[in-house]
Amino acid sequence: MTDKNKTDISTLGEFGLIKHLTENIKLQNPSSLKGVGDDCAVLDYQDKQVLVTSDILMEGIHFDLTYCPLKHLGYKAAMVNFSDIYAMNGMPRQLVVNIAVDRRFSIEDIDNIYAGLRLACEQHHVDIVGGDTSSSLTGLVISPTCIGEGEKGTIVYRSGAKDTDLICVSGNLGAAYMGLQLLEQEKTVYSEQLKEGKNNIAFQPDFAGKEYILERQLKPEARRDIIETLRDANILPTAMMDISDGLSSELLHICKNSNAGCLIYEERIPLDYQTASMAEHLNMNVSTCALNGGEDYELLFTVDLANYETVKNLKDIHIIGRITKPELGCMLETRDGQNFELKAQGWNPLKQQQ
């Protein structure tokens, strides 16, 4: 970000920068009446219900620019918000993005963040309709808000799971967490080489055979396809969440909100080969990683038992257990048949930095 060929943001000013970033945006959705350029965006949702989700992503807390390219960061910031809309069985339609940057950042850097935001929006048919851009004394902040639509009667909350429902997850779990471990490991190697005075060597991180877990961390994909698959199969989940903090944590939310218990089977938790391989390399228990590793952005949902025959054949959807009576608690049955109580050990963004 310190390249001398880059352009200082102050050359454009606030309105110049907003114009530069947004002038080529064409609104795609009929619900987007007015985008950037007035005091508010104006939307018309007609007979649809409106879903709103918002995040704040802080440099040094949620991302590390040592290994996270700005374009990927923009992409991920949008994607994690789309994921929250899908988790309500809705469709994302508009995105508002607030960004604050310090002096390290040039116009080209913000262009890169926007390139990632735009790519994510194109893929998910979402319009960028507004956003505030400011300077920061230290560090990059991205705060996206996504607005989406839900059909009346088909919005899925966390609270609808009931005894005997099947518990399902999409894709596989723990991969993003293993990707993060890999990046942290390479960062440590790199900084040790720097300490040893080898600062003019070309650092070559070794990512061969680990591309998948790396991509899961740096470029997560919100599971629109799963929402479409379920609709096509005429299945309305009884409860749903996206997995941002880890399977255990999310499942406990669903059980608490639904006043239910659950039983999931360790052997049913879907894992990718690279996730298992990386966990073994790090001497970590892969199931623990899959249960507690965050940022997979897969969907966790429950469906009525009557859907069993249909669900078990759906692509990339895995039945991992069932909802039980609340007095039975939230349990994990291990590969060797033992039962343990599920605990939320997911990532805590409020853990104070020492």
Residue 24 vs 354, nearer CB to its own copies: 354
| Interaction of residue 136 with its own copies, rule CB under 8 A | yes
| Interaction of residue 350 with its own copies, rule CB under 8 A | yes
Can you tell me which of 34, 162, 187, 224 binds its own copies, judged by CB under 8 A? 34
Contact window for its own copies (CB under 8 A) among 44-52, 167-175, 197-205, 330-338: 44-52
Question: Least distance from C-beta 143 to its own copies, angstroms?
Answer: 4
| Interaction of residue 6 with its own copies, rule CB under 8 A | no
Q: Which of residues 68-107 bind its own copies (CB under 8 A)?
A: 84-85, 87-88, 90, 94, 96, 98-100, 102-103
The binding track of 272-311 with respect to its own copies, each residue x by CB under 8 A or -, is ----------------------------------------
DSSP category for residue 59 = B
| Interaction of residue 224 with its own copies, rule CB under 8 A | no
> Which two tokens mark 94?
């508009």
Inter-CA distances, 50 with 88, 94, 305, Å: 11, 11, 30
> Which two tokens mark 303?
């469906």
Can you tell me which of 7, 66, 135, 188 binds its own copies, judged by CB under 8 A? 135
Sorted by sequence, the CB contacts under 8 Å of residue 186 that are 6+ apart come out as 67, 205, 206, 207
Q: How many residues bind its own copies (CB under 8 A)?
A: 77
Three-state DSSP class for 328? helix
| Interaction of residue 49 with its own copies, rule CB under 8 A | yes
Sorted by sequence, the CB contacts under 8 Å of residue 296 that are 6+ apart come out as 171, 172, 173, 174, 175, 176, 177, 216, 220, 243, 244
Can you tell me which of 63, 109, 118, 150 binds its own copies, judged by CB under 8 A? 150
Q: Are 50 and 147 in contact (CB under 8 A)?
A: yes
| Interaction of residue 161 with its own copies, rule CB under 8 A | no
Q: Are 122 and 92 in contact (CB under 8 A)?
A: no
Question: Least distance from C-beta 107 to its own copies, angstroms?
Answer: 10
Residue 209 vs 349, nearer CB to its own copies: 349
Residue 31 vs 287, nearer CB to its own copies: 31
48: number of Cβ within 10 Å: 16
Can you tell me which of 3, 23, 26, 38 binds its own copies, judged by CB under 8 A? 38
Cα first-last separation, the chain:
27
| Interaction of residue 351 with its own copies, rule CB under 8 A | yes
Residue 101 vs 278, nearer CB to its own copies: 101
| 3-class SS letters over 245-310 | CCHHHHHHHHHHHHCCEEEEEHHHCCCCHHHHHHHHHCCCCHHHHHHHCCCCCCEEEEECHHHHHH
| Interaction of residue 349 with its own copies, rule CB under 8 A | yes
Burial class (CB in 10 A: 0-12, 13-18, 19+), 5: exposed
Can you tell me which of 123, 164, 185, 257 binds its own copies, judged by CB under 8 A? 257
Question: Least distance from C-beta 13 to its own copies, angstroms?
Answer: 6
Three-state DSSP class for 184? helix
Contact window for its own copies (CB under 8 A) among 138-146, 226-234, 267-275, 313-321: 138-146
Q: Are 243 and 301 in contact (CB under 8 A)?
A: no
Residue 131 vs 321, nearer CB to its own copies: 131
| Interaction of residue 27 with its own copies, rule CB under 8 A | no
CA distance 93 to 85: 9
| Interaction of residue 237 with its own copies, rule CB under 8 A | no
Residue 17 vs 284, nearer CB to its own copies: 17
Can you tell me which of 147, 213, 226, 303 binds its own copies, judged by CB under 8 A? 147
HSE-up of residue 338 (Cα within 13 Å, Cβ side): 4
| Interaction of residue 243 with its own copies, rule CB under 8 A | no
Query: Distance from CA of residue 103 to its chain's centroid?
Result: 28
DSSP category for residue 175 = H
